[in-house]
Structure 1
Amino acid sequence: MKITLKKNLVIAALVAVGAIGWVAASGRFDRSENKRPTVSVTVNDSPLERQSKMSASFSPVVKKVAPSVVNVFTTKTVRNPMPEITPFFDDPFFRRFFGSPFGDDGERRQPRTFKERSLGSGVIVTKDGYILTNNHVVDGADEIKVARDKDKKQFTAKVVGRDPRTDIAVLKIDAKDLPSITFADSDRIEVGDVVLALGNPFGIGQTVTMGIVSATGRGGMGIEDYEDFIQTDAAINPGNSGGALVDAEGRLIGLNTAILSRSGGSQGVGFAIPANLSRSVMDQLIEKGKIERGFLGVRIKDLTPELARQFNVPDTTSGALVTQLEDRSAAAEAGVHSGDVIIELNGTPVKDRRNLQLMVGRLAPGDKVSLKVLRDGKEKSFTVTLKEMPEQRLASANNEPGNNESDALNGVTVGDIDSAARSQFNIPDRVKGALITDVDADSASYEAGLRPGDVIQEIDHKRVTNAAEAVEVSKHVKTKQVLVRFWSRGGSDYVVVDEGKSK
């Protein structure tokens, strides 16, 4: 059973919060100016000295790193649904002791809400207060507090940006001269390197565990969209999410993120997001306010031995098989066909589908890439100008604690309408707009009736023809109630989404 650390955070967080009695306050990141800040981190990418004898103590390393690792506490409002009605509620004896799901007037009681407190860890990466953590640590939080372990000093944290696809979030606290961590080049780590994991497991306080790099490039776990994990046997437990994984010199090589466990606790199989990937995502979130990823516009699958024989691919060649191309996609415009096997990107061999996805995802829209494919057993080369990944989350760039009142259509994910979507949802060619690909079940939009497969045509009386326009219009809605015109199942309709009633 795969377990991401957040799944077991709730009970641990409640115990930890009761013990230290913190009080959270909401924060808001100031975006009043168009000019976004830049960030400067400390990097030491020199190779690790692997020939030296193992130290008898890592105390000097811990003393250097520990001040940069902080505790992250969050609260969010959770709606507790009423249980389904059972025949027992017709029994007066049962209702005497357990109550009725109905009020005195016979109306069904409304589900109650309560505050859920969770905990995690974070890493200070700049002296002026930028902090890296996991997206799942702060996702949906109304309030965030950051506390240093040594002096217990607490700060209100503001969400600068989040990237659910890599499970990375960037926080900011108002402070100066903080002890920031030094980054290593995580591409240079090797299996067998000694590592230390620092974090706040179960809320008991900062804890250090030791292990080795068990594997690199782990993926296919179903935890995130972009998986390129460092695997370690250093003990990682709930509460370690967002904490530091450092090498024997105390340099950050990864963010502790998930475990594979049958018990819910550490069983020697932990995963960390590589520091290079974390830094790349952080830079974009701080400097651009969003993540821009290159997009080939192909549907691909792993090349099995059986498929390789059918497409005349040599046994020694790896790659990713193109099964479908999106209309007017970057790959289609360059001349790539279904049935092509992509074997190289910018001169780097493609190992499999996941490897190609990672390589393209690290590039930016507008980048020109060289693509080598096998078609009918013969090599062909193309120059492809990448486009931008179409799916975007409405108002996600400003998805911060305490900011729900100004976010229109919170919890709605949209994408552009392609041929596959038109076929799947029977959307006529005349229908233009932003395709809803996901709606959070506890959002105001869901309560209003918006569902995946619907097409948003207008927001606040303003017409939208694609996902980017829907995102942009939603950013400028100033009221809690917003009128939405949408197409669904053969016709258009209007609904009013009331963010003031968000659960």
Structure 2
Amino acid sequence: MTPPTSGSWQRLRANRFASVLVILATLSLGILIGTVISSTVKGNEKQVSSSDATPLQIPEPKQLSNQFAQIAKQLEPAVVNINTESTMKHPSIKGRRGQQTPPDDDEDNQDDQDQGPGGGQDSPFQDFFDRFFGGQGGGGQMPQQDLRQRALGSGIIIDPKGYIITNDHVVDKADKIKVNLMGDPETVSYDATVIGVDKETDLAVIKINVKHDLPYAKLGNSEGVQVGDWVLALGSPFGLNSTMTAGIVSAKGRNIVPQRQFQQFIQTDAAINPGNSGGPLVDMAGEVIGINTAIFTTGGGYQGVGFALPSNTVIQVYNQLIAPDHKVSRGSIGVEFNAVANPAVARVYGVTTGVTVANVTPNGPAQKAGIQTGDTIVSVDGKPVKNGDELVADISARKPGSTAKVGFVRNGKEQSASVTIADRSKLYAARLGGGGEEQGEGGEGQPQPSKFGATVQNITPEMAQQLKLPNTKGVVVSNVKQDSFAESVGLGRGDVILEINKQPVTNEDDFRRIQGSLKSGADVVFLVRPRGRDNGTIFMAGTLP
């Protein structure tokens, strides 16, 4: 192949260089044209957008529903924060066991202590005491010195002179009660004194002294409350002052506390938490229709169900607590009946409505009037009685010493008797060996400590299983009063009393009978199976003061 000449090569190189220049010039011209067109389009877009768009404006404020806000402004100044301080005495262990606590009992109770309030999850005793007695089991290794305990609750001012309604469990056993008013600095508090308490309804009246009238709340009529009504709960949950939650009334007439006849609650889903106790439940008229008292919970906090004591009950109790005697007096006729009506009883006794008497208190008003076990009370002063709640509500509201015409059915024949109403506490004090309150119409009153200072209960098979007892013999101690004879000899919650002074104790009646027969100065020897032992007994003894 013949190589190109130098002249041809020079012409070819010149043509290539010219072609490259033409290409570069063409590309540059295209880029320039595109940029101009693009800028023109963008300018046109901005021009169209700015001419067609409508500027936004801030609207005038609308008047929305402000009923909750109005109620909050009206009621919050009357809601108070209550702080209490009390001394928890170390339980006396003198004579309690006569020896060191068994290791297995130590381990269980140490678990309770480490877990704090509520106890260890695996503790059957804690479960037992929470379920049946509503508190901790105690026992175990504890500090030997007294402990200072602080508690928090709420209250509502219902008198400009400084009278406040709260729960008894908020101020119970408190050495100091401090009240903080809304709007005052947290460092400003007022000392409060207890005017009176009612254990049956868990209500207390306290008072603070101020130099000026205080804002106060008005109590409404709780009978008008309907399921589905809006309600507000005010208080200091977890110490958060001036907190308001909203909900509805989800049920009425709830009886949630065993052996408490006078606590029938309004149920609500307004959030109620620890610290709300004693605060008001308010309706949409701004009136207090309940006092927040309890919650249903498995975790210690709000789970959608709370309970408030109805205002009608609160008013009745308050009026008696501010009276000169500062105590609540309730009537009784001295009968007991099953808490839950049993259709079989009605069929056997031939009465489908009313209250069939299961027991008549010896020398009580009913027995003196001729009423017997098996009679069915159907009316009081001509007003029909359908169930035990109605009977208790009617009789307890009557003044001791007054009379009532009680209608009853015996062997299919209706009869009547004039019954003199007795004071409940006095009627049953003798039965309990002095100093206690009665078990109540229906046998549902809270058992009270008496001469020994110990409250006992019959042992059911379920209790025996929970306490790991070999059988149901004896009675179990459910509570021991501080500084009482029972505490001094070493009795504690969960102990099982088998004998007193060599006399067998098979049930509560045996305990009361033996207790009532002993006088001051008598030697008392308990044969006890200590809590935590499924076998083995010890003596606990002392001289009755």
Same-fold status (TM-score > 0.5): yes
Structure 1 regions of 5+ residues with no counterpart? 1-53, 90-107, 395-411, 418-432, 456-469, 471-482, 497-503
2-structure distance, mates of 1:204, 1:383: 54
> Within 1, Cα distance between the matches of 2:428 and 2:410?
36
Contact 1:144 1:156 in 2 (8 A): yes
- C-alpha distance in 2 between matches for 1:488 and 1:356: 40
Q: CA 1:352 to 1:151, structure 2 compared with 1: closer, same or farther past 3 Å? A: same
Distance 1:237 1:139, change over 3 A: same
Task: Quote how far apart the aligned CAs of 1:324 are.
Answer: 1.2
Q: 2:403 aligned to 368, 372, 382, which one? A: 368
Quick one: structure 1 residues 348 and 243, their matched pair in 2 at CA, closer, same or farther if it must change by over 3 Å? farther
- Per the TM alignment, residue 268 of structure 1 is displaced from its structure 2 partner at its CA by 1.8
CA change 1:441–1:290 in 2 (3 A) is closer
TM-score (norm 1): 0.65
* Residue among 148, 167, 171 paired with 1:115: 148
| Residue 269 of structure 2 corresponds to residue 233 of structure 1 | yes
1:289 aligns with 2:299: no
> Is the CA contact 2:453–2:485 (under 8 Å) kept in the aligned structure 1?
no
> Aligned-pair distance for 1:440?
3.1
Cα deviation code 1:331-371 (max 9, x no counterpart): 11222111011222344443433442233222221122232
CA drift at 1:122: 0.6
Instruction: Give the AA of the match of 1:187.
Output: E
Contact preservation (8 Å) 1:414, 1:437: no
Aligned-residue identity in percent = 38
Change in Cα spacing, 1:445 to 1:145, as seen in structure 2 (3 Å) is farther
Q: Name the structure with the higher strand share.
A: 1
Correspondent of 1:194 among 219, 230, 234: 230
Instruction: Compare CA radii of gyration and give the structure with the larger one.
Output: 2
Q: Which amino acid aligns with 2:276?
A: N
Contact 1:414 1:435 in 2 (8 A): no
Change in Cα spacing, 1:154 to 1:346, as seen in structure 2 (3 Å) is farther
Matched with 1:5 is: none
Match in the other structure for 1:460? none
Query: 1:230·1:271 contact (CA, 8 Å) conserved in 2?
Result: yes
2:209 to 145, 170, 174: 174
Segment drifting more, 446-455 vs 261-270: 446-455
- C-alpha distance in 2 between matches for 1:217 and 1:167: 16
Greater helix proportion:
2
Q: Does 1:265 align with 2:290?
A: no
Which residue identity does 1:58 align to in structure 2?
F
Q: Is the Cα–Cα contact under 8 Å of residues 294 and 363 in structure 1 kept in the other structure? A: yes
SS in structure 2 at match of 1:120 = strand
Alignment of structure 1 residues 294-443 onto 2, 5 Å: 294-301=331-338, 302-314=340-352, 317=353, 319-390=354-425, 413-414=435-436, 438=455, 440-443=480-483
Letter in 1 for 2:152: L
Moved over 4 A (4+): 80-87, 391-394, 433-437, 450-455, 486-490, 492-496
Contact 1:415 1:434 in 2 (8 A): no
Partner-residue secondary structure (3-state), 2:409: strand
Amino acid in the other structure paired with 2:488: A
Matched, 1:141 2:187: no
Shift of 1:242: 0.4
Residue 27 (structure 2) aligns with: none
Quick check: 2:194–2:207 contact (8 Å CA) kept in 1? Answer: yes
Q: Is the 8 A contact 1:436 1:454 kept in 2?
A: no
| In structure 2, C-alpha distance between the alignment counterparts of 1:236 and 1:76, rounded to whole Å | 24
What's the offset of the Cα at 1:112?
2.1
Paired residue for 2:488?
448
The answer to whether the 8 A contact 1:185-1:253 is kept is: yes
Alignment CA distance shift 1:282-1:142 (3 Å)? same
Which residue matches 1:95? none
Compute the displacement of 1:309 (Å). Answer: 0.5
Alignment partners' CA distance in 1, 2:427 and 2:208: 27
In structure 2, the residue matched to 1:43 is none
Partner of 1:458: none
Secondary structure of the residue that 2:345 maps to in structure 1? helix
Distance of 1:229 and 1:183 partners within structure 2: 16
The Cα of 1:130 is off from its aligned counterpart by 0.7
1:73 pairs, out of 68, 80, 83, with 83
Superposed CA deviations along residues 34-79 of structure 1, whole A, max 9, x for unmatched, are xxxxxxxxxxxxxxxxxxxx95541111111111110111011123
Distance 1:393 1:371, change over 3 A: closer
Post-superposition Cα deviations, 1:209-264, rounded to whole Å, max 9, x if no partner, equal 11122222111532744222111111111111000011101111110000112222
- The equivalent residue for 2:538 is none
| 2:98 paired with 1:60 | no
Classify the secondary structure of the residue corresponding to 1:365.
coil
Amino acid across the alignment from 2:336: R
Count of residues in correspondence between the two structures? 363
**Aligned counterparts, 1:18-97, within 5 A:** 55-80=65-90, 84=101, 86=103
TM-score computed with the length of structure 2 as normaliser: 0.60
Q: How far, CA to CA, are the matches of 1:354 and 1:380 in structure 2?
A: 22
